[in-house]
Structure 1
Amino acid sequence: MSFDAFECIALHLFRSGASEDIETRFMFLLEWNLMKRAENVVHAKISHIEWRDDCLVFTFAKSKSNQRGEEHLGPWHVYANPEKPHLCLFLAFGMYAFCNPHILKGGGVALFEGTTAKSVYARYMARFNNVVNKELVRDLRTLGYEPGDLASHSARKGVATWVCSGCTVSPPIVAVCLRAGWALGGVKDRYLFREGAGDQYVGRAAAGLDQLTKEFAVSPAYFDFSELDPSETFRMKRAIRDFINSRLGFEPPGSVQTMLQHFLASICYHYDDLQRDIDQHSPLRSAALFRDIPDNIRVLATVRYPWNKTSDTPKITGVPPHVTHLAELHALKEEVTNLREGIMNEIREEMDKRGFNSGR
């Protein structure tokens, strides 16, 4: 599956009014971002996920058949793509959580509801096959795909190819193979292990961010209180927490509360996109957490970059050196621009003081 095909399917599911497509899109983006088989993704539980710095971290529990952990259980880092809402896993997770608030109670609650993991997988694949083999036949044919070409493992193989070869500056192949669960062969399996930095880079690239631009270092959507005074900051943080708890009808555990606040920030940041692009019959429109979000909460949602970050901006991770240099060059360019404007203003003010016409 090429990146263009992935984006085509994700956009179709994003705009769909079918009630099941909130779940289908979330599972599809999870499958892509985690580089896991769909049958592995269906086992995910809310307790497998935590918020760390600027990303979500998935750590899968050992199964009875995998007590020693040969299947590479993580932790795996996944990132937001606030520049393309239809590809943003955090937005998809937020939309799914808002429509299925029971998953936010924590503990061993499964992300995907079903009597068995097999039934959840069958439900997902039935909808996926219908989308790629019927609803998007014409669009996918223009990209070179015939009905039957795309199946369960297409996303996993496609994202690995995209991350490794979609750019001339790609993450380490070891990090990609370990994340996808592929053997390296020979002594490499014995001596080469995962490290956080490599997996973070893979996760940020898998999110669909452009590795050749400074915007690759974008933060997730979050609530920024840096321009408020301390009392107003306290009041707004409490207002956000109270809004979430009142709409849910229960108070989620602390770890889930942190994730949920970032999901709400993502919904707020993309609120206009959602109002414009999602179908009028989308279940999200009737979700309690989506209806009537107060304006004073929505305006606090933002994204930042290394050159304009604030004290509230999450620590930005998974950024390779070349992007760091691009960001630093942009920051320097802005500083020079501001310096030039400042000098010109000072010259004009001094000329006015001395009775010269500064040409304002």
Structure 2
Amino acid sequence: QAGLQSKHPRHIYANPLAPEICPILSLGIFWMSYGLNSDISMRLFTGRHQYDRHVYSKVLKRVVQSQAGNVRLLGGKPDEIGAHSSRKGAASWVSSGSSACPSSTAVSLRAGWVQPGVEDTYKRFEAAGDQYLGRCCAGETSITHQHIEDFNLNRV
């Protein structure tokens, strides 16, 4: 969970039809709000440890507290909403939101969950599984992406 063993890329995809869950839009808003990290490490978030980087947690908590009445109106409990819910919720969503869910191995690896025993040895990262998982997380498994065709581009 600390990102110490993240030797494989994590595939993320935009969802132009649902901006409220689009990770690319969220990243853009984050950078516009807080600026780019100029640290030489090139980390996305500042801080040495995962729990040092809790700007998101603080902002989320403040927003939920300020909107507690509205959260309750919608049937939610403000004290049950937190940053950990995002990762847990994504794992639950992709594991049960479809009849064609990503593999449990891909979900466990993406969530940073330990796979004890044989699973750590024989169940490994594979780009195709993570790509499908990324598309499921973005809620865009049914979107057909643009295909670039040869429109006589040699004139350009």
Q: Per-residue CA shift, 1:52-86, capped at 9, x if unaligned?
A: xxxxxxxx5x4xxxxxx3xx543211111111223
1:205 aligned residue: 136
Q: Per-residue CA shift, 1:266-309, capped at 9, x if unaligned?
A: xxxxxxxxxxxxxxxxxxxxxxxxxxxxxxxxxxxxxx3xxxx2
CA–CA distance in 1 between the matches of 2:126 and 2:49? 33
Q: Per-residue CA shift, 1:299-354, capped at 9, x if unaligned?
A: xxxxx3xxxx2249xxxxxxxxxxxxxxxxxxxxxxxxxxxxxxxxxxxxxxxxxx
1:310 aligned residue: 148
1:149 aligned residue: 80
Residues matched between the structures, number: 150
Matches within 5 A, 1:60-209: 62=4, 69=5, 72-99=6-33, 102-103=36-37, 107-113=40-46, 118-121=51-54, 123-135=55-67, 137-209=68-140
Aligned-pair identity in percent equals 35
CA distance change for structure 1 residues 193 and 126 in 2, over 3 Å: closer, same or farther? same
Alpha-carbon shift at residue 142 of structure 1 (Å): 4.5
CA distance change for structure 1 residues 173 and 119 in 2, over 3 Å: closer, same or farther? closer
Please state whether the residue corresponding to 1:144 is helix, strand or coil. Answer: coil
CA–CA distance in 1 between the matches of 2:76 and 2:7? 32
Structure 1 stretches lacking a partner, 5+ long: 1-36, 41-59, 63-68, 219-303, 313-360
1:310 partner letter: I
Matches within 5 A, 1:1-360: 40=2, 62=4, 69=5, 72-99=6-33, 102-103=36-37, 107-113=40-46, 118-121=51-54, 123-135=55-67, 137-209=68-140, 211=141, 213=142, 215=143, 217-218=144-145, 304=146, 309-311=147-149
Alpha-carbon shift at residue 107 of structure 1 (Å): 4.6
Structure 2 stretches lacking a partner, 5+ long: 151-156
1:156 partner letter: R
2:16 partner letter: P
CA distance change for structure 1 residues 162 and 143 in 2, over 3 Å: closer, same or farther? farther
TM-score (structure 1 length as normaliser): 0.36
Alpha-carbon shift at residue 170 of structure 1 (Å): 0.9
CA distance change for structure 1 residues 81 and 154 in 2, over 3 Å: closer, same or farther? same
Q: Which has the higher contact order (CA 8 A, sep 6+)?
A: 2
CA–CA distance in 2 between the matches of 1:170 and 1:73? 24
Asked which structure has the greater CA Rg, the reply is 1
Alpha-carbon shift at residue 165 of structure 1 (Å): 0.3
Please state whether the residue corresponding to 2:11 is helix, strand or coil. Answer: strand
2:65 partner letter: N
TM-score (structure 2 length as normaliser): 0.76
CA distance change for structure 1 residues 181 and 111 in 2, over 3 Å: closer, same or farther? closer
Alpha-carbon shift at residue 118 of structure 1 (Å): 4.9
Greater per-residue strand proportion: 1
